[in-house]
């Protein structure tokens, strides 16, 4: 297994970032890491905003076994990044789905089991609660940037960083919030992320993949499978 040399969420490696072998291994021609490769993800120390959210949920939990109570129980487990409660009888009358994400997006089985233990201990006996990870929707991003000014390699690197910041597991980028469970990916969101680069000016973007907005189900989560960016210089108009 691969083990990080550092602590926290920043040490989680998103899909497609491992593509070179530092030490030659006979018989191994290439390496890759896919969207579901993590066994145990790293997480950061809880910040004040997350603590405040749990504080509010703790009060809402007092109102009875509502969706807020389920969220409070799930959020009490270390490593849970976000929770979505699907409570409109997703599997039939009396069922509740507790969909969780970890610091790297898809939760590990260890995290799911930890949350399930808490939920099952507190849920009413007549509730059929299921703790699970989201249905992953893998996205390959292939795009061409039309550059007006700046250093192309620096622009491409910053654009890739900003795009990765849209997905759980990517390095935190100021002003960019990772997409949550059930959130669609409109092409305008990808365009917005790229046009925010500071290393130069990008006039427009053309996306080969995805070619259209990506729809996600209520319990779905988009994960980045791969990313490939290129550029052309903008023509004078």
From 64-73, 79-88, 107-116, the region with the lowest mean pLDDT: 64-73
pLDDT bracket for residue 140 (50, 70, 90)? very high
pLDDT over 80 at 237, yes or no: no
Between CA 33 and CA 12 the distance in angstroms is 11
* Non-local CB neighbours of 125 within 8 Å, separated by 6+ positions: none
Model confidence, pTM? 0.73
Closest CA to 167 of 196, 136, 207, 198: 136
* Across 2-28, average pLDDT: 70
Tell me how far apart the alpha carbons of residues 88 and 184 are, in angstroms, rounded to a whole number. 20
Q: Is the pLDDT of residue 39 over 70?
A: no
d(CA 237, CA 229): 24
pLDDT band at 32 (very low <50, low <70, confident <90, very high): confident
Q: Which residues pair with residue 97 across a beta bridge?
A: 86, 130
Give the CA count within 13 Å in the CB-facing half-sphere of 233: 5
Tokens of 100: 């969780």
Q: How far apart are CA 214 and CA 218, in angstroms?
A: 13
Q: Beta strands 200-209 and 135-150: pairing type?
A: antiparallel
Name the CA dihedral angle for 153, 154, 157, 160, rounded to a multiple of 10 degrees.
-100
> What is the pLDDT confidence band of residue 11, given thresholds at 50, 70 and 90?
low
pLDDT 10s digits, 167-223: 987 677 889 988 889 999 999 999 999 999 999 999 999 999 999 999 999 999 998
**141-150 mean pLDDT:** 96
Choose the weakest-confidence range: 72-81, 167-176, 219-228: 167-176
Domain boundaries defined on the chain: 1-133, 135-233
């Amino acid at each position: 297994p691969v083990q990080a040399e550092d602590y926290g969420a920043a040490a989680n490696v998103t899909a497609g970032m491992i593509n070179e072998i530092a030490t030659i291994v006979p018989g191994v021609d290439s390496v890759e890491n896919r969207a579901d490769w993590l066994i145990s993800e790293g997480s950061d120390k809880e910040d004040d905003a997350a603590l405040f959210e749990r504080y509010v949920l703790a009060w809402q939990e007092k109102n009875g076994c509502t969706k807020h109570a389920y969220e409070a129980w799930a959020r009490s487990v270390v490593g849970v990044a976000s929770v979505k409660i699907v409570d409109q009888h997703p599997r039939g009358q009396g069922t509740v789905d507790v969909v969780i994400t970890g610091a790297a997006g898809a939760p590990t089985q260890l995290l799911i089991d930890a949350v399930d233990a808490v939920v099952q201990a507190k849920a009413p006996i007549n509730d059929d609660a299921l703790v699970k990870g989201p249905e992953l929707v893998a996205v390959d991003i292939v795009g061409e940037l039309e550059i007006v000014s700046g250093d192309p390699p620096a622009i491409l690197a910053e654009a890739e960083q900003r795009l990765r910041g849209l997905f759980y597991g990517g390095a935190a980028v100021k002003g960019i919030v990772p997409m949550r469970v059930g959130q669609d990916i409109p092409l305008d969101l990808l365009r917005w992320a790229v046009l925010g680069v500071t290393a130069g000016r990008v006039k427009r973007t053309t996306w080969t993949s995805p070619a259209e907005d990506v729809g996600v189900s209520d319990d779905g989560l988009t994960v980045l499978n791969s990313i490939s960016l290129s550029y052309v210089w903008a023509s004078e108009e």
